[in-house]
Amino acid sequence: MDSDRLSALPQAFLHRMKDMLGDDFEPFLAAYEQPRTYGLRVNTAKISCEEFEQIVPFEVKKIPWVSNGYFYNEDVRPSRCALYQAGLYYLQEPSAMTPASRIPVEPGEYVLDMCAAPGGKATAVGSALKGEGLLVANDISTTRARALLRNLELFGIPNLFVANEKPEKMVKNFPEFFHKIILDAPCSGEGMFRKEEALAKDWTPEKSEELSRIQKQLCLNAADMLQPGGQMLYSTCTFAPCEDEQIISWLLRERPELSLISMEDYEGFSTGNPEWGDGNPQLKKCVRIFPHKMQGEGHFLALLQKEGTAGPSAGTSKTSRLAADVRKYMEEFFREIGLKTLDGQEFDWNRVEVRADKVYYLPSVSCNFRGLTFIRNGLYLGDLKKNRFEPAQPLALAFRKNEAEAVISLSVDDPRLERYLKGETLTIEPEEAAHSKGWHLLCVEGYPLGFGKLVNGTLKNKYPAGWRV
């Protein structure tokens, strides 16, 4: 057995797990002998799993309990691949993919991810929305919220509002507003001890009790923002009953309008244990993930539904008054690249807003964002320079395959892609470009990576310095 990993585990943690697991304790410990697993989740808003399998340049294997999840080998560096930089997949530990896969998000819904950074769950539900409705992704940490924004932009999600706010303040703006809410609560991280030994070193039993008080407040905040008939997914990456079953037991008592509902099952899932809560047999509808029963780390999930029927949805966003010259410059750019659609939809000029010479494409939903601290409202389209429009990188990534005519598409193994991602100029053969000059979308296998400007067979690189690999 891996003595280093085991020696890092606190004795109080081991004693409690032995009490919890009984005969399963030894197999649980044996799981620490096994190497950690590595996974990626395909962005199905941009590419199908079938096409992804055809173009991915390294070996992958399907994750059986997540329809768009794949294992990859430890020696692979998928973040260096151009497909990653095109936002075609997100790197995520396999068991951590489970929560977002178990809340049924439909295009057009209003979805909140309360503790969203770094973006694993937010990118998953944002992808499921397919550019319709609204994604509000919040994180109380400014640094983490900026990292969250980067991942959402990489995925090409346009209908977003990235907040950096206390959840209790958000309740005032969004009472009974959201169709779906994900609360991946701050927790003691026991399920990640095999993956991150530092978490084990910082663990104390008192920490779980302290976190449980925070989790309870977050649950109340979420319940108050959930529409009648809406669904809320509570998850942690810990085994501690005081952060799992006991939280759900308490919430069901505090908010009797909530009830547990079953999730899509998998043979490796374990049920919640009523004895670890208040004895409520409904707790069996919760899901526990243990590393000795699945190829992943540890998680807890509970899916709850609020009784009642949702009222009318929020209206569409207000009509924007766009200056004639701004529209002129943008139309010139769109004609040059041959804009067809954006994120699968016809471009809506009423959603364009200019703030300090920066141009944004607002969500189509009218919301009360007043007073909230935020990082981004909508899609960052570009900047107004002297008598022209300069496109931004998030706009390039919001394009789907075949949504623009002026493209230069290179194969995934073309060495020029690596040079482009480093910010270098490229030599382009005449037959590789849609036009002889001007703005183009540089693509990998047809999927946009970023912009460039073609002049005499040379592509001037417009890949931003902050994005370079």
User: Any idea which residues carry the catalytic annotation?
Assistant: 237
Task: Give the DSSP H or E segment for 453.
Answer: strand 447-455
The amino acid sitting at 156 is G
What's the start-to-end Cα distance of the chain, in Å? 38
Q: Beta strands of 308-430 (E only): which ranges?
A: 352-355, 358-361, 374-377, 379-385, 388-391, 407-410, 426-427
Strand pairing report for 388-391 and 379-385 = antiparallel
Please state the separation of Cα 142 from the chain's center in Å: 17
Find the helix packing angle between 205-225 and 245-254, rounded to 10°: 40
How far is residue 411's CA from residue 42's CA, in Å, rounded to a whole number? Answer: 19
How far is residue 360's CA from residue 344's CA, in Å, rounded to a whole number? Answer: 18
What does the buried/exposed string (b/e) look like for 258-287 if buried means 16 or more CB atoms within 10 Å of the residue's CB?
bebeebeebeebeebebebbeebebbebbb
How far is residue 241's CA from residue 72's CA, in Å, rounded to a whole number? Answer: 32
